[in-house]
Amino acid sequence: MDRKYNLCFTKAVASGNDFIILDNLSGELSTKDINYSEMAIELCPRRISIGADGILVLERSDKADLKMRIINPDGSEVDMCGNGARCSAVYASKFGLGEELDIETRAGIISASVKGNNVKLKMSEPKDIKTDINLGIGKSLMKVHYLNTGVPHVVHLVDNIETYDVHNVGRQIRRHTMFEPDGTNANFVGEKEDGRLMIRTYERGVEEETLACGTGTVATAVTLGLLDQVTSPVSLLTKSGEVLKVYYEKKGNRIYDVYLEGEAALAWEGKI
């Protein structure tokens, strides 16, 4: 690292998604000259720095118990991160904000119920739903489904989920002209040999496959529900080996009362 920030941080993980938490609930960091985008670009690369799927900045909120900002490794700030919210909830609960929390995000206020390391989030209602899109990838057409669960996601059903080329296909979907200018996350779901549903995600802003994605898991479960392939609750195996559970209510083509449940933990603390 080229710069010394003289800041304490907490490393947190949820289903293999890992984050650098910066606590600004006191407002102290606001008095410092911090460029969080530059910080994320410097601190998130693996092997040469701390390594993370993003930075979470926790701030005071006039609308909720706390506000969560999410900065991706490429420096972009995004509206929502499900696994990041679970990490933030565990952190806030551990440091005295209680077990029932409201968290302000750029995608709206979400609620979290914390029991030890288990967190159940009430997510925003999915929007901008478009099913059965024929997407041109290379010389072939691929049927995908699109929706926003706080951030945009494409979902594609595959037969060979364990060997599927998530990185290359995901990268093409993420930057497809149909989703310009901001792009999208790309999720792939299918059955393993043992019959369990598995999800793999190429994340926008991380620009590679991650071990899990909370909003992507919700998008995938909701899509499968809309296609009448599953009923709530839906358990999805992530690449990390952990299972995330999604609950929802369905009325016609409307999905509401959506929850994401799984474990999150504070791994270690450090100073930069």
Listed in order, the ranges of the chain carrying CATH 3.10.310.10 are 8-124+264-271, 127-256
In this prediction, residue 138 carries a pLDDT of 87
DSSP letter at 195 equals S
246 with 260: CB under 8 angstroms?
yes
* Helix, coil or strand: residue 125: coil
Alpha carbons 210 and 191: distance in angstroms, whole number: 19
Helix (H), strand (E) at residue 226: helix 214-226
In this prediction, residue 1 carries a pLDDT of 57
In this prediction, residue 2 carries a pLDDT of 62
**Cα 117 to chain center, whole Å?**
17
Residue 6 half-sphere exposure toward CB, CA atoms < 13 A: 4
Its CATH class, for the domain covering 8-124+264-271, is alpha beta
Residue with tokens 């792939």: 188
Structural domain 127-256, CATH architecture: Roll (3.10)
82 with 150: CB under 8 angstroms?
yes
- Catalytic residue list: 81, 213
In this prediction, residue 17 carries a pLDDT of 96
The one-letter amino acid code at 81 reads C
Which residue positions in the chain have pLDDT lower than 70?
Answer: 1-3
**Cα 54 to chain center, whole Å?**
10
Which residues have C-beta within 8 Å of that of residue 260, sequence separation ≥ 6? 82, 86, 120, 121, 123, 214, 217, 218, 244, 245, 246
107 with 147: CB under 8 angstroms?
no
Alpha carbons 197 and 191: distance in angstroms, whole number: 5
